[in-house]
Amino acid sequence: MFSKLNKFFSSVKLAIFLFIAIAAVSMIGTFINQGNTMAQYKIIYGAKVFAILYWLGFLNIYDSWYFIGLAALLVINLLAASANILPRTLRAVFGPYPSFKETAEKKNPKAVYESFESKKDIAGITAVLNGAFGRPLKESVPSETDGKGKELYYSKNSIFRFSPYIAHLSIIIIIIGVLLTVKYGFRSYTNIKVGEKTNISYLLKNNKPIKLPFTVRLDKYETKYYPDGIPKSYISTISIINKKHIAVLTNKEIKVNHPLTYNGITIYQASYGHYKPTAVRLLVLNLKNRGYKKVIYAQPDTFYNLKNNNIRFKFIPVLHPKKFEIPFLIHIYNNKNKNNFQELKFNILPYKNHDQKVPLVFAKYKNIVFLYNGIKTYYYSGVEITKNSYTSVVWIGSIILIIALFFSFFFNQQETWVRLMPKKEGAGAGIGIEILSIPRKKFPSFYKNFDKKAANIKNKLK
């Protein structure tokens, strides 16, 4: 039972299936933009399609049970495959190494063989071989030579046989980084009114509020425009206030593609706008006192006192104004009689200022003039606040993967066995030399280099 499970979880077919499945799921996550608000998804796809996509988990696919399951299964596959072939790799790198005879009997199709004779002694032949192949990892006396021969084992780039294991490990690191980011990272959004602050943001995936480890204050907002009136840039000036109510960062500008990062949390400029006006700006003048000027932000149906003139007033919007009628009024109340009021209608007077005709909208009560000076607009900046604390883990895993793949593909391990067999005694007797070399990968360059080395060794051992 265990062997069947081991064979299943370590199979190459399972690995290929998992890579294809994860790639397919990731493609869905690419085609369907992840992390938008529910309202945005409903606008884009409609209520019915939104319900289907939400049920399938396509709107937050990297946090779905099937993506996490595929990733976990891939980790198990990589660990099982590595554990199964690791003992064989350890033997190939650290020994015990197979003999010349054992290797030759396996008849490896990648092997290359060369044999010749030399009049030199074994010590001289060994010196030439060491110059060509490096220091031997194993020297022994083969049993078939009656103690008079010698066998040498050489290995080049054997340490790079661990590259596939490092590649497997790096993929596991990447998966762990992705899962940690999905679990503990977030994408959120909030609107901040100019002059106000907040430590609450709302998750894009479900609009749930989260508490930030600091407070963001919007000190200023500005929209810059091109000469033709098209917005050029949206600039928010913000300050970061820590839990001790200390401003650790002040007057930091953020704009599109220029975010601010603090303690692993990044703040992006995402949008801007203004809230529905709640007050009008009234400039109150006294015609008998040129020094008297007062600005009042008047909200509907709220009393405002003009103490110096012993009156108070209300600003009253007109819900259904007549044609060409100003849609608001002033009700004047005398402090001596609080129940009666006098209704003032606003009038329009053309006024020329700097070669431009600017209409004055005003209402007059005795020597008091109420000059309409616009509405009070509260601008806000929409910021996206994200935390990707474990992105560095993904980067580290990716860098390790690139390095491991480079060494795995471009550094070829080469194993070489040499057997020295004394010929029969007599005139002209010498040493028989057999060279058997096997590459890890069947590169054409290996065979060219082997032929050159063999020819060079023959010339030196003539």
* pLDDT at residue number 248: 83
Count Cα neighbours of 231 within 13 Å in the Cβ-side half-sphere: 10
Instruction: Give per-residue pLDDT as tens, 408-430.
Output: 888 888 899 999 888 766 545 68
* pLDDT at residue number 174: 92
Instruction: Give per-residue pLDDT as tens, 248-257.
Output: 888 899 988 8
* pLDDT at residue number 452: 92
What angle (nearest 5°) sits at the alpha carbon of residue 132, between those of residues 103 and 438? 25
Checking phi first, is residue 329 left (phi over 0); if not, alpha (psi -120 to 50) or beta? beta
* pLDDT at residue number 429: 67
pLDDT at 148 over 80: no
Picking from 347, 376, 405, the residue at the C-terminal end of a domain is 376
Decide if 181 is inside a domain. Answer: no
The proportion of the chain whose per-residue pLDDT surpasses 90, expressed as a percent, equals 20
pLDDT at 106 over 80: yes
Picking from 55, 85, 115, the residue at the C-terminal end of a domain is 85
- Structure tokens given for 282: 């009234």
* pLDDT at residue number 355: 58
What angle (nearest 5°) sits at the alpha carbon of residue 458, between those of residues 457 and 461? 85
Is the same domain home to 361 and 441? no
Instruction: Give per-residue pLDDT as tens, 310-352.
Output: 788 888 888 877 877 788 888 888 766 667 788 888 888 776 6
pLDDT at 20 over 90: yes
* pLDDT at residue number 145: 62
Say how many domains are in the chain. 4
* pLDDT at residue number 215: 92
Rounded to whole angstroms, what are the CA distances from 329 to 298, 321, 341? Answer: 12, 11, 12
- Structure tokens given for 389: 């604390």
Is the same domain home to 266 and 329? no
Amino acid in the structure at residue 151: E
Preceding omega of 96 cis (within 30 degrees of 0): yes
User: Which ranges in 95-238 belong to alpha helices (H)?
Assistant: 100-105, 122-133, 163-184
Instruction: Give per-residue pLDDT as tens, 211-261.
Output: 999 999 999 888 888 877 787 888 999 999 988 888 888 889 998 888 999
Cβ atoms 188, 239 nearer than 8 A: no
- Structure tokens given for 360: 């004055």
190 closest CA partner among 267, 99, 84, 135: 267
Give the range of the structural domain holding residue 211, as residue numbers without chain letter: 186-275+380-387
* pLDDT at residue number 437: 92
- Phi, psi (degrees; rounded to nearest 5) at 396: -60, -45
Instruction: Give per-residue pLDDT as tens, 359-395.
Output: 778 888 888 888 888 877 777 888 999 987 788 889 9
Decide if 319 is inside a domain. Answer: yes
Contacts of 111 (CB under 8 A, 6+ apart): 103, 436, 437, 438
Decide if 31 is inside a domain. Answer: yes
Burial (Cβ within 10 Å: 0-12, 13-18, ≥19) of residue 322:
exposed
Is the same domain home to 283 and 249? no
* pLDDT at residue number 351: 64
